[in-house]
A and B are shown apart, each in its own frame.
Chain A
Amino acid sequence: MESLARVENLYRYYGDICAVHDVSFEIKRGEVLGFLGPNGAGKSTTMQIISGNLAPSAGLVQINGIDMLDQPKLAKAQLGYLPEQPPLYRELTVDEYLGYCAQINRVPGGKRRAAVDTARQRCGLTEVGRRLIGNLSKGFQQRVGIAQAIIHSPALVILDEPTVGLDPIQIREIRALIRELAGEHSVILSTHILPEVQAICDRVQIIHKGELVLSDTIAGLLRRMQASSLLAAFRRPPAGHELESLAGVQTADPLPDGRVRIHYDPQHNPAEALVQQSVSQQWGLYELIPERMSLEQIFVDITHTESTPDEQTQDQTGVAA
């Protein structure tokens, strides 16, 4: 896929504090990139820099090949930005507000009405066009914020924690909307909610203390989550040494609830052999679950230690609990 935006060696200092430290990444056309990190990790600062709201202390931001610092107007025309707090004028109606947004984003006069209609329709705002933004619920305000970011159909949409403070149904709707946007736009999404990333992103980047500590596809992340252990339950549990004699099995630990956790050599998955043995020895296997590290665990592992993320995940897979 073609690269749409590029960020290189980005630094940003607030006084002596370094909020963003040497961050580089790319985003491809039509991709949803999840930006993950604990509070205060530098997610919002990075987003503000990419959207041109904040000048970086050093580094390069290019959108569609246009440099944000050299030609801010051209670069900004290519992007839509929803900050953490949606920038809404509470005294205007939804239609007035979106009309104004279309205007300042240089949507030509004749197409403005159509642009407002499309944005309103995509964000489920058709019913509330004539209502004051200040009187709308939080969920609707958030949608108006998203509508504002896509009104000029920018190539890149940047959403900073778009689902914070919404109820579960609204969160589902917003996620579906973001997924839908990915068809035509590239989306950068920041969040500290992990399932959200799993649900909507193609690629994930974890930022911690201003540094990128992980950048991977969702598939790659799922692979990282694969722990080398199985959870098995038997009607007639065999002795531990019987299990350990199977090829690839390293240890078999009986658990208090009657199940057995089987750790194995990642090169040799013993699942098939285990099933065959169980049938021939009549162990009565009724449950066999490949264990996974949760995304939370990876996240905690990466963000709570200072060593390199790759070694960390490798170490941790052995003792995943």
Chain B
Amino acid sequence: MMIFAIAARELRSMFLSPLAWSILAVVQLILAYMFLVQIDFFMQIQPRLPGLDNAPGVTEVIVAPLLANAAIVLLLVAPLLTMRLISDERRNQTLSLLFSAPVSMTEIILGKFLGVLGFLFIMLLLISLMPVALLTGGSIDYGVLLAGLLGLALLLASFAAVGLFMSTLTTQPTVAAVSTFGVLLLLWILDWAGSGRSGDASNLLGYLSILRHYEPLLKGVFNSADVTYYLLFICTFIVLSIRSLDAERLQH
């Protein structure tokens, strides 16, 4: 109950700032361009497709690359959305409103998380309208589309959890944004280490890489291990955020 009150306020405040609107507009514009490029590409290869064995369908050619690109674009954008969650309240000294209200740290963090997640899911909804628009000209593979959207949703939630944690650590939103971006980028390129070789270390790093678990979902492969990876990832950073916020009251 309190969680939703905090989430609703967070979401509302986001839409009261021009940042949220401009991010929505820019992301939509860039992804729409990428989407059109993919459609163009599909139109070019379409005549040759019937001749191929196991030819890729419209979903594989257009939707999967679109969602893959969306993940990269949102990796760049998510830190800007999450940076203000706690750090800005700390800077404006509004945190004491939440601290002196009968609300637990867990409720505060979950409320903030759901608030920003709400915004990210609105963005996801806008992005998913593009593949759905393909229905006007043909049919798409719903399984692949839904698996891809689920993957993107989990990925966005992970971005939000990391960003929220970074925001609890600092008073400066920009510092939170930069460190969130650093962590996300590192998690993305983690599997580059020793990518040519095989071995336990590179397997482990590859396994930890945040985008590695996204690829199967884009292909329509729903593997519970990948989903579990994201859920664990999100839980970890939420617990860390709660601990970090709680530490604010304690000795330092």
Contacts and interface: CB of A to CB of B under 8 A. Distances in A.
Most chain A beta carbons < 10 A, residue from B2, B5, B100: B100
Given A91-B16, A104-B2, A54 B9 contact: no
B102 A105 contact: yes
Contacts of B103: 73, 76, 104
Nearest to B98: A104
Contacts of A104: 2, 5-6, 97-98, 101-103
Contacts of A73: 102-104
Contact of B93 (A79, A83, A106): A83
A103 interface: yes
A74 interface: yes
B191 to A, nearest CB: 41
Given A52-B100, A73-B102, A87 B95 contact: yes
The number of chain B residues touching the other chain, given as a range, is 20 to 34
B100 A80 contact: yes
A52 B16 CA distance: 30
A13 B97 contact: no
A108 B108 CA distance: 19
B48 interface: no
Contact of A76 (B13, B101, B251): B101
Contacts of A85: 92-93
A221 interface: no
A138 to B, nearest CB: 15
Contact of A55 (B12, B13, B93, B250): B250
A14 interface: yes
Contacts of A81: 96, 100
A288 interface: no
A87 B93 contact: yes
B197 interface: no
Interface residues of A, number: 34
A111 to B, nearest CB: 15
B17 interface: yes
Contact of B96 (A51, A57, A89, A96): A51
A53 interface: yes
A76 B102 CA distance: 5
A74 B102 CA distance: 7
Interface in A45-90: 48, 51-55, 57, 72-74, 76-77, 79-81, 83, 85, 87-90
Interface string B235-252: 000000000000001111
A283 interface: no
Contacts of A57: 251
B252 A14 contact: yes
A87 B102 contact: no
A80 B102 CA distance: 10
Nearest 3 CB-CB pairs, A to B? A87-B97, A81-B100, A77-B102
21 contacts: A14-B252, A52-B100, A53-B100, A54-B249, A57-B251, A73-B102, A76-B101, A79-B100, A87-B96, A89-B9, A89-B13, A91-B16, A91-B17, A92-B12, A92-B13, A92-B16, A96-B12, A101-B97, A104-B2, A104-B102, A105-B101
